Structure 1
Amino acid sequence: MKLVLAATTATLLLAACAGGGLSTTESSLQHQRWTLATVNGEPVDAGIGSDLAIGEHMAISGLAGCNRFFGSARLEQGRLKADPLASTKMACLSGSIQQVETAVLATLNQGAAVSHDDRQLTLTGSDYTLGYRLADAD
């Protein structure tokens, strides 16, 4: 009986590790701040400063490009989807900043598959793939 239990436990642990990262749950995403590094695999100018913070009860906020956003999100079946977000309404003067802003807001509002590990978060939506890295504690 102990051998069967040990074999079952080992199988479950191996299956969990084969997923290539941590299981994504609300608690594994909360209390983190992420910095946008790529959109569709292309590097984002760090000077834009786009970020995403996920707080208690899946409250989200951040800088899309030139506008700040805030609201709440939910994680269902491995997909992160924001409830309608509120945002500031500043005019974006740079085309590259506007492109980043459009990608971030569209992806959060439409919903995206979530993949993450300790230092990386990827949100894959229907039009954009956003690659975030964990913001270093200052």
Structure 2
Amino acid sequence: MRLVLLSLLLVLAGCQAPASNQASQPKVPTFYNHWELFAIDAVKVPRLKPAQRLDVDRNYMVSGMAGCNRVFGQGKFEAGVLTFENLSTTMKICPAELDRYEQSITEVLSNDPKVTMYRGDLVLRANHRVLQYRLVKETSSQ
């Protein structure tokens, strides 16, 4: 009888160990989706044409619009930071209003932004700049 109880306790202890390990793991933000720029440095951005979008896939391939130029590159996400080996943009001349937004977006993306989620928004921080993106469309593969 003691052997059965001891075996049962060991099995139960083994079942509980993985659950406690999962709870102690830090939650990694899931930010692969389609996003639209909402605010820069806590100042709301008006809806622009073209829309200032950022699309991120599960492999952290990023593409989007930074002003009047497209931005794209293969990202790497580790320890809450998104880095790019080669972040690229097209090279059109932007009107002043769009250029102002483009400068902020490319500055943040080019300087290894820290990625967080805040109330469902994607927040990227680098060089004392903060970009806040709102979800546009959820990817169907989540």
Smaller-chain TM-score bracket: 0.7 to 0.9
2:86 corresponds to: 84
The answer for unaligned runs of 5 or more in structure 2 is 1-8
- The corresponding residue for 1:46 is 47
User: Residues 4 and 56 from structure 1, CA distance in 2 versus in 1: closer, same or farther, beyond 3 angstroms?
Assistant: closer
Q: Give the direction of change, closer, same or farther, for the CA distance of 1:11–1:42 in structure 2 (3 Å limit).
A: same
Identical-pair percentage: 23
Could you tell me how far apart the structure 2 residues matched to 1:126 and 1:91 are? Answer: 24
Structure 1 unaligned spans of 5+: none
Secondary structure, in 3 states, of the residue corresponding to 1:60?
strand
* 2:123 counterpart residue number: 122
TM-score, length basis structure 2 = 0.74
Q: Is the 8 A contact 1:83 1:109 kept in 2?
A: no
Number of residues paired by the alignment? 127
Deviation at residue 127 of structure 1 after TM alignment: 2.9
Deviations 1:15-65 (A, max 9, x none): 67xx8xx522xxx233x1110100000011112411111124221110001
Q: Distance in 2 between matches of 1:136 and 1:55?
A: 13
Structure 1 segments (4+ residues) deviating >2 Å: 1-13
What is the CA distance between 1:131 and its match in structure 2? 0.3
Cα distance change, pair 57–9 in 1 and its aligned pair in 2 (3 A): closer
The aligned amino acid for 1:43 is K
Q: CA RMSD in A?
A: 2.6
